[in-house]
Structure 1
Amino acid sequence: MTTPYRCPNCRTNKSRFNLIKQVPHSVKLDPNSGNILEEYSEDTLSPFHLAYKGPELKVQCAACGLIEEEKTFIKFGEMK
């Protein structure tokens, strides 16, 4: 389903946006060097590693640069 967007910050942009797909990559880092010690998949997360629960998509206004969740732009797009 497609819905109109409008930027909640500049309030004028209704047509120019960047859609940002968020793809989590779960890793365990060495605290001293920052090197990756272990990589996890959704099925093999360790008991101390929570899965990413954020939005799959974020939206950036291509006029003012604001980055927010898609639902924020949709709600402002519904307003007349």
Structure 2
Amino acid sequence: MEPMLCPGCKTNRTRFNIIEQHPKAVKLHPQTGEVEIEYTSEALDPFHLPYRGPSYRVQCAACGLIENAETFVKHAQHFSEVNKW
């Protein structure tokens, strides 16, 4: 992990929730919404794109903002560069 700063509340540097994402590829019944098929990552339907998002996201434990980790890291980097002068 790298230093982080919440871009929402602009004060939190220490309290965060790491939200791990575990995607599950499924085909739902169009009327009931029930899972008809659960795909494995090796055997996806030709029309089913694999998940390409981040493996985790970060939530600020002070204000609740949820973003990609890079957003928090970049905000901390920018803030430290601005305050060097």
TM-score between the two structures when normalised by the length of structure 2: 0.90
* Residue 46 (structure 1) aligns with: 45
Query: How large is the Cα RMSD of the aligned pairs?
Result: 0.7
Q: Kindly state the Cα deviation for residue 10 of structure 1 after the two structures are TM-superposed.
A: 0.5
**Percent of aligned pairs with the same residue?**
51
Q: Kindly state the Cα deviation for residue 76 of structure 1 after the two structures are TM-superposed.
A: 1.1
| Matched position secondary structure for 2:70 | helix
* Residue 8 (structure 1) aligns with: 7
CA–CA separation in structure 1 for the residues paired with 2:33 and 2:2: 42
CA–CA separation in structure 1 for the residues paired with 2:21 and 2:35: 20
TM-score between the two structures when normalised by the length of structure 1: 0.95
CA–CA separation in structure 1 for the residues paired with 2:58 and 2:50: 22
Q: Give, as a single letter, the amino acid of the residue that structure 2 aligns with 1:47.
A: P
CA–CA separation in structure 1 for the residues paired with 2:23 and 2:13: 29
* Residue 56 (structure 1) aligns with: 55
Structure 2: which 5+ runs fail to align?
A: 81-85
Flag the structure with higher strand content: 1
Which 4+ residue blocks in structure 1 deviate beyond 6 angstroms?
Answer: none
Q: Give, as a single letter, the amino acid of the residue that structure 1 aligns with 2:69.
A: E
Point out the structure with max Rg over C-alpha: 2
